[in-house]
Amino acid sequence: MINSFRLGILAVPVTGWLLLAGCGSDKTANQATTAAGTTAPADSTQTNSVAMPTSASFGKTTDGTEVQLFTLTNANGVKASITNFGGILTSLMVPDKDGKLGDVILGFDNVGGYQSPEFLKSGPYFGALIGRYGNRIKDGKFTLDGKAYTLAKNNGANTLHGGKVGFDKVVWQAEPGSSAEGQSLKLTYLSKDGEEGYPGNLNVTVVYTLTADNALKIDYTATTDKATVVNLTNHAYFNLNHGAGKDILGHEVTLPADRYNVVDAGLIPTGELRPVKGTPFDFTTPHAIGERIAQVPGGYDHNWILNTPTGQHAAATVYEPATGRTMEVTTDQPGIQFYTGNFLDGTLTGKGGTVYGKNAGFCLETQHFPDSPNQPKFPSTVLKPGETFHSVSTYKFGVRK
């Protein structure tokens, strides 16, 4: 019997899952042999009468590869734009309480912004797909099945978000699609054995879908030919009053989590799961981000342990009073990293000339816990051959009048 790690792995044959999910087939595998970054033909099984996502050039990477920007649209006029460079969510246009559309994502107008010296130095990972391992791994090393692995260190002594060249900095194969659920973009990438120090050839598929009820669903799937560790997430920075509100301190956040990971000075978990009650980490009822942030040295950048450990469950709710916009996050992951843009310092200027200063955006990264490969008491992130990692997280937008 194939064992699977809790909450992340479905121990089913790879082909069986892909058929069930409707993504990935022999045809898609053959298309993946085309040049990296090109757009694969749309699935011929899709109904031609259904509108497809649009695409346009997003510029060229520093090595001269042209990348695309794909825009998904629903009947309400909501638009999600994603580039195949890093799988980055660059823009998300959603309505406010008056029906006016506004972009709630921090980002840039072209790929150059995501490769500038200033961006690479500050490393905010705006909107990107994160892997092979999201968050930090202590000292850039772990042991698996008795073998020690050394990773690329890019966060002091630690490895952060996959290493020096994580999934956020590679060009993904892109395949736009459409179904009864909504317009979609399927992104695939082969992370080769030894990339950034991780073992195993890891085949990754991420599908973004924009639904009719104004939700952006992110569906992650991965398989490997050698035991490895996996923790996939998205690093979008949200500001539900982006363009008018310079910071997110007035946003009201609710997190259904009674505990959080205590971290050391390097933001590595100590192993303690501390109750939030009576602390500024208690978001079990709504609180403005700025209400108690001064009591947290450096600001919020911690993993909360969600109360519901299995199946799809609520992970966060956000309300922005000025616009009335709301966001509901659901996931099947055991944790969520709540980060409040503490390291943004005004050196980056994004879309519309917006200067991104401290607390200009917040992140809600659904995930397994940081440093899990070195912490046996945490839910396992090990993926073995014959198993399939599968996870779905959804960000649904609405209004409160």
Any idea which residues carry the catalytic annotation?
235, 365
DSSP annotation string for 64-88: S-EEEEEEEE-TT--EEEEESBTT-
Determine the Cα–Cα distance for residues 68 and 188; give it in Å rounded to an integer: 14
The CA–CA distances, whole Å, from 203 to 219, 221, 291, 367 equal: 14, 8, 43, 19
Determine the Cα–Cα distance for residues 225 and 370; give it in Å rounded to an integer: 24
**Spacing of C-alpha 146 from chain mean position:** 30
Please report where in the chains the tokens 């040295």 appear, as a residue: 297
Contact yes or no for 298/266 (Cβ under 8 A): no
**Spacing of C-alpha 199 from chain mean position:** 22
Strand, helix or coil for residue 212 = coil
Report residue 2 as tokens. Answer: 């194939």
- CB-based burial, 263-291: b 16+ in 10 Å, e otherwise: beeebbbeeebeebeeeebbbeeebebee
CA atoms 84, 85, 89, 92: torsion sign: negative
Determine the Cα–Cα distance for residues 253 and 236; give it in Å rounded to an integer: 16
